[in-house]
Structure formats: structure tokens, C-alpha cells
Structure 1
Amino acid sequence: MMYDFSVIVCGCTKNSASYIEENITKLYEMNNIFKAFHFVVYENDSNDNTKDKLQHFKNSHSNFNYISERDVDKHIDLDRRLQLRPQFIAHGRNVLLKYMNEKYTEFDYMIMVDLDSVISTFRASQLKYIFNNDLTWDVLTANCIGKYYDIWALRIYKDVWVPEIHNTLWSTYIDYDCWEKAIMCRNAQKYVYDNQITIPVNKPLIPVSSSFGGFGIYKMSKIKGCFYKAVVDNKIYCEHVSFHNDIKNIHNAKIFICPQFVVNQQNEHVRNS
């Protein structure tokens, strides 16, 4: 099936030489189903041959590019009192946004995707679950095989809670940073693991205030002037939550989890019971 849309796919990677070519090949299948397509990867400071793998892929694939940075820790503003990894990831995603806004601002959609095992089961044919829905959505994010793992990025505020949908999945609003709350209340079971539920694929689109799950597709018109931030109020903050706060506050965007669009399970991030 062909879709009459233009799409740019963006993702960050580091030290992924053992799998990056296989995974970006799966995502590159989208080149065949959109009227216009571009794929860009951000890489920094890998100490394996990730960069060589990206260059090799670029040499043989049109509409693909990558951005590589070195010594990033010396060149960006970091709060060194806090975890560095989320700050590096937010920086990488913002580099991709800058690239996109300079070259592809007229495209219809941006896809932000994790390039690790979460998309190892991806097939371009799955996009029918996204584009066959009512296109009044502004952002759709992925479900996954098994328990919904990406709880740090998940927020469901009171204003988007639909009892007939949400009450069948969660017991109440999720309006907090799960790990901050778990540490504060010494109860990771309640604030993290109890919310990592299995979302049935036959559920309707689920309204949320923020979500990611390794794959998010955004209407380009709804992300202008928005950025990823990993430090808010002098605390580490999920970069997806800050980005989604921007797109809701600036553009009144409607964000959903698409239960039918399923990526690979991430058992290392959930507690099996």
C-alpha cells in the first residue's frame, strides 16, 4: 500500500555496530510506501565501528543520512550533578529536530524511533494500523508485545482520562514521574510495575498526555518550536514528557497510544510476575 504523505524518520544510536544495519534496513522499508521519504540517524562518540556501518548504509541507500558528533560532553551544556545519559539523548534528538527543521519542514510527518531491539520486529506493513485510523490525531505512539515497558515517558492527566477506556487499563491518573514517586514513597511496585500493564491490541486509540514506547509519529505542524529537555527544575526529566508538554501547550496536540501498532517486547524494563 502506498500513502500520499511525506515522512522523515529520525533516531539516535551509539555503540550499535552489531545490529544497527539490520535495524535501519527494516525501517528503510518505509521508503517504498510514502510519496517522499528521508531517514536520518544521530550518532555520537561510539567506540566501535557504528559510524562505519552508517556510512556503508548511506553509500548504498538514497534518502539516508547520518550526523556524527565527537566529544559531545565537552561541547554541550550538561548538568554534571545529574545523570548524563538522558541529557545526551535529549541533545541528540534536538540535533535531529534542527536538521529536520532546516531541510524538511514541509514534510507531513516526523517519526522518532529508538534504533535498538524495540524495532527488531518492525515491518512497514504495520503502518496500516496508523494511517487507517481517523487522522484527526496529532501524535501516535507504539504499544508493545507483552507488558507496556516505557512507563517513564507515560503521563495520563485528568483532562485526557476517558473512563470507558482508561478504567479498563489503569486504576487512576498517571500524572507523576514514576521513578521519582517510587523513590519518594519507597514503592516501585505501585508507581512503576503495577502500571506496566498489557494493552490489548483490540483497544481503541488511548488518549494520553505523553507516551513513546520506542516509536512515535508526529504531524510536522504540531512540533514546530518544540524541543526535548532532560533537565527541568534542576531534576532529570524524561525528554519525551518535556517534548509532549511543549506540543500540547503550544499546539494543543492530541496524543494517543495506538494499541494495534506493536513493537518488540522489552523484558529487561519490566518485572514479570
Structure 2
Amino acid sequence: MILKEKSNFLIVGTVRNVDKTLELDVNRLTKSIGKTKNLSWFFVESDSDDDTLKILKDLNKKINNFNFISLGNLTNRFEKRTERLAFCRNRYVEEIQKNYPTIDFVIVADLDNLNKKLTETSIDSCFKSTDWDMLSANQNGPYYDIWALRHKTWCPNDCWETFHFYNNFVKDEETNMQNHIYSKMIKIPSNTNWIEVDSAFGGFAIYKRWVFDFGRYNGVNENNNVICEHVHFHKLLKDQGAKLFINPNLINANYTEMTLAIKPKYRNRRRMKNFINSFKSR
């Protein structure tokens, strides 16, 4: 068992246009992590046109060991959203390598009001074993983060690449969406054993510090097509022998924007179409 209260933690993430929810996220994360030896923060901001920078400056004054960097406007430099995300994530990788040598665990969190259901109990469940290098989150609703997922049976390939392939032959995007993306959004009971994966994220993941000496994010492939930046990062970790799991008890949300489209009460064609279009705009 790992003694969380004797360990040093760093929380990292990327932020853009989150002035209404960022402080809520920081407070939730602080409460959910509970007692540690030391807790530090490092956020990477870009492309905000609201008061996100002001909130970051306020948090820097109020919270010990809270740091951030703004990379300004990246949209002119990187056309694709995943490229911008990978660039920002690599900035916190570099920061970890240079300035956080004594950290034991790094938490990568989405900071867009997703992680509403985290609890100290669920995070503590990660530290009952030492035989892991990354543990990622689960949801009470269907598991939503299929693009970041790689599992030899459940999701061995890029779900959006598969979706686009079938669109060449089956001229019904909604059917292809259901067959190749929504069908993989299964519900995982919280008492299920840890699920070993080649990649997963789900909006929240805990890593052992050593993996950041080897991982690097990439948001496009060799053909300059968008890919999920987490998959490339995790491939490099697996090449180093890292053990990656989904921890079903690490619940961070109920339904998300993506899985609401398949919730019976909310299911409709407009939601599904909006989801398809949101990906096309990346």
C-alpha cells in the first residue's frame, strides 16, 4: 500500500475559457485528494478570450505552490485543436522534467467542470496497490472517452478513424456513430477489477512521476490527421514497460456531454449530429 499522506503530488492540466468554473475545479480537486505531504499545481493556458488569466493570477496569490504559464494565442500557429493541446501538454511535461524532480505522483485533470464526482474515497482506492504506473477515471454513466481508449478487445483502434472508414461505404453517419463509437460506451460497475489498457484518460488520471521522463504528446499522425494526444503519450509509456489501468472505482462524473446523447431521456438525433460535427471541427 502507498501512503498518500506521505507523498508529494502535482496537479497539471490545460485551460482555456474556464473563468466560470476553474476555481470550482481547483477546490473540488483539493478536497478530493485530501491529505498529502505536499500538493503543487501547474496549469498551461492558451487562447482564452474571457477572464481565465485573471482567475489564474488570483489562484496564484491565494494557493501555495500554484503556478501557471500562458502560451498566448496558438490558433494561428497550430490549425488543429489536437496540435494545440499536445503543444500545451508537452509544456507541462517539460516543466515536470525540469522543476519537479521530487514529485511522487502527477495528476492530469481536465479543467472544464467535468470532474464533479471525485471523492477522497475514490482517489484513495488507487493507493491500495503499488503495481501500476497510471490509473485513469471511470464514470457512473457510460464510459465516454473512447477516442483516448486502446484495449485489445474493447477498442483496439482509433474510433473516429473507423467511423470515417465506414462512412465511405455506409452513407449513414448516425448508424456508423452508433456502431463504432456509442456501442463502445459501456457502463463499468465501480466494483469491477482494474482494467488493463494500452491507453485511457476519461478526464482524470494519476501517474507515477517517472513516466514523464519518457512520455510526449502528439496531436497529429504522419499524414497530418488529428489523433488523440493521449494515445501517443501512452504508447511511449508502454514501450518503457509502464502498466496502465482504468480504475472503475475512480469515479469522476455521471453522464458527460458525449454520453448524454445516448441517455434514454435525452437521446435525440440533434445531439448525435452535434457530437459528430464537433469532432469534424477539430
Contact 1:27 1:124 in 2 (8 A): no
TM-score computed with the length of structure 1 as normaliser = 0.87
1:30 Cα shift?
A: 6.2
Whether 2:236 is the aligned partner of 1:246: answer: yes
Q: Cα offset for 1:225?
A: 2.4
User: What's the secondary structure of 2:114's corresponding residue?
Assistant: helix
Counterpart among 198, 202, 207 of residue 187 in structure 2 = 198
Distance 2:121 2:87 in 1: 31
* Residue in 2 that maps onto 1:178: 159
Mapped to 2, the partners of 1:11 and 1:42 lie a distance apart of: 6
Write the distance in 2 (CA, Å) between the matches of 1:266 and 1:47.
Answer: 28
Q: What is the alpha-carbon root mean square deviation over aligned residues?
A: 1.7
Structure 1 position 45, deviation (Å): 2.2
Instruction: Kindly indicate whether residue 256 of structure 2 is the aligned counterpart of residue 261 of structure 1.
Output: no
Instruction: State the percentage of identical aligned residues.
Output: 31
Q: 2-side partners of 1:183 and 1:177: how far apart?
A: 10
Q: How do 1:123-202 residues align onto structure 2 when only pairs under 5 Å count? A: 123-132=119-128, 134-157=129-152, 172-186=153-167, 187-202=176-191
Q: How many aligned residue pairs are there?
A: 251
SS at match of 1:261: strand
2:263: which partner in 1? Answer: 272
1:56-71 → structure 2 map (5 Å cutoff): 56-71=58-73
The normalised TM-score by structure 2 is 0.84
Report the 3-state secondary structure (helix = DSSP H, G, I; strand = E; otherwise coil) of the residue aligned with 1:112: strand
Q: Which moved more, 1:64-73 or 1:145-154?
A: 64-73
Question: Partner residue of 1:38?
Answer: 40
Q: Distance in 2 between matches of 1:222 and 1:112?
A: 13
User: SS of 2:18's equivalent?
Assistant: coil
Runs of 5+ consecutive residues of structure 2 not aligned to the other structure? 168-175, 265-282
Find runs of 4+ consecutive structure 1 residues off by over 4 angstroms: none
Q: Which letter maps to 1:148?
A: Y
Give the counterpart of 2:84 among 81, 88, 106.
88
**Aligned mates of 1:237, 1:88 — CA distance in 2:** 12
Matched residue type, 1:25: N
Q: Is the 8 A contact 1:118 1:265 kept in 2?
A: no
Report which of the two has the higher share of strand.
Answer: 1
- Which residue of the partner structure matches residue 106 of structure 2? 110
1:31 touches 1:38 (CA, 8 Å); kept in 2? no
Query: What is the deviation of 1:38?
Result: 0.8
Selected match of 1:215 from 200, 204, 228: 204
Deviations 1:98-134 (A, max 9, x none): 11111102311111110112212323343111112x2
Gaps of 5+ in 1: 158-171
Per the alignment, residue 20 of structure 2 pairs with: 18
